[in-house]
Chain A
Amino acid sequence: NAGVTQTPKFRVLKTGQSMTLLCAQDMNHEYMYWYRQDPGMGLRLIHYSVGEGTTAKGEVPDGYNVSRLKKQNFLLGLESAAPSQTSVYFCASSYPRQAGNTEAFFGQGTRLTVV
């Protein structure tokens, strides 16, 4: 099992460019999450999904869009990148709360720099 895989691991964008970050999990998890982590700070929830075809806004959704067309994939899009979006992005997945133990598994992160 690969767990949670994020693609790419590093990326440099120019201001105004767009890109999509891919998160793939092979644990058949219902829930998936996207976070950003700025230097020295905690993780902030961008968007999350409680199932295929559903998404919801987190704490800092502005400037980002997401899609969950397949259960195993959760895509994070930046339509017009800004320097303020320079950060490390983490994806996570878990079973639903109703399943009891909802340990979330995280990917290794994507380090994005917008210049």
Chain B
Amino acid sequence: LAKTTQPISMDSYEGQEVNITCSHNNIATNDYITWYQQFPSQGPRFIIQGYKTKVTNEVASLFIPADRKSSTLSLPRVSLSDTAVYYCLVGYNDMRFGAGTRLTVKP
């Protein structure tokens, strides 16, 4: 099973773009890459999912290079409400979370 490595924490300021990179060197051919957001005392919430290249939705973009050994979640123009823990997952049927990245957005 692919393991993921993310920075433990990141700080940013309101209005900035935030990029969180996840390493998954042992990703399998059929694995997907998925990102979740979690606020305190809540269950995680789906942000975005991709297999290769670039995926964009209304809240984020996901960049995946050709070798798929890493991925970058991009959050445009963050606000205070984006302060949360962000998890990168790789896998097929079983979803396994890593330690996550604690993002703190400052005013």
Contacts and interface: CB of A to CB of B under 8 A. Distances in A.
Contacts of A2: none
Interface residues of B, number: 21
A88 to B, nearest CB: 8
Contacts of B36: 104
B96 interface: yes
Interface size class of A (residues with CB under 8 A): 20 to 34
A81 B66 CA distance: 47
B93 A58 contact: no
A66 interface: no
A92 B46 CA distance: 11
Contacts of B94: 33, 45, 48, 56, 58
Interface string B29-50: 0001010100001111110010
A78 B71 CA distance: 37
Given A45-B97, A48-B93, 17 more contacts: A42-B97, A42-B98, A43-B97, A44-B96, A44-B97, A45-B96, A48-B94, A48-B95, A50-B93, A56-B94, A92-B95, A97-B92, A102-B32, A106-B43, A109-B41, A109-B42, A109-B43
